[in-house]
Amino acid sequence: MENKSKLENKPNLGRCFKCIYFNKYYTRGVKKFNECSFGWCGVCNDHKKLMDNCPNYRFKHKVPIENTNMLFVLNNLLTELEQIEQILKEDIKERRGFKK
C-alpha cells in the first residue's frame, strides 16, 4: 500500500517507459521509425503500455549520446588496430619463412 501512495504522489515515478526492463516498440515509417504507445516488459514477459505502473520498476539511467558515439568510434578504432596487428604478425611470419 505504501508503494502505491508514492506512485500516486509522483506521476512519472514507476512508469514503464522509465523502467530498465521495458523495451518500447517502434513501427517503420516512411522516413523514420515511429514510437508506439506500448512495449515489452522483461520481468512480466508481457506487453505493457508506456504509462503503466509496475512493482518491479527500476529506474533506467540514460547514457548521453556523446558518450555512446564516443564508445562506438573507439570500438571501431580498436577493431582496426587489431586487424593491423594481425596483418603485421602474418607479414613477420612470411619474412621469417623466406629467410630459412
> For 60-74, how does the pLDDT look when each residue is reduced to its tens digit (9 = 90+)?
777 677 777 888 889
* Interatomic CA distance for residues 26 and 68, integer angstroms: 21
pLDDT, position 7: 47
Model's pTM, two decimal places?
0.45
Mean pLDDT of the chain: 80
Residue 60 burial (CB count, 10 A) = 12
Q: Where are the domains of the chain?
A: 1-61, 63-100
